[in-house]
Amino acid sequence: MRGMVPNDPQTQVSNYHYAIVYAPRKKRNRFPASCVELQETIEEVVTSAEPDRKRYAAKVHGPSKSSEGQFIYYLIEWL
């Protein structure tokens, strides 16, 4: 994906995570860190999702720094 920082095997700067993502529209492919709640396991993410409140389970990659200086996460897939 364009702009996504690839994994660095020597550090944990940018990595894959399970997360709850607040998404008013599910058509976006990147989200600010303020809209992402990282979780430890896929089970936690699936049980914590609240679609009626627009909080969806997802696998994300990040954090990366945007050109505006904000930390963002890229959507890998909705769970």
Is residue 25 assigned to a domain? Answer: yes
CA 32, chain centre distance (Å): 8
Is residue 47 assigned to a domain? Answer: yes
Is residue 43 assigned to a domain? Answer: yes
pLDDT over 60 (residue 45): yes
Into how many domains does the chain fold? 1
Separation of alpha carbons 24 and 72, rounded Å: 16
Is residue 27 assigned to a domain? Answer: yes
User: Which domain range does residue 57 map to?
Assistant: 15-78
Is this prediction's pTM over 0.85? no
Is residue 54 assigned to a domain? Answer: yes
Average pLDDT (27-51) is: 93
pLDDT over 70 (residue 12): no
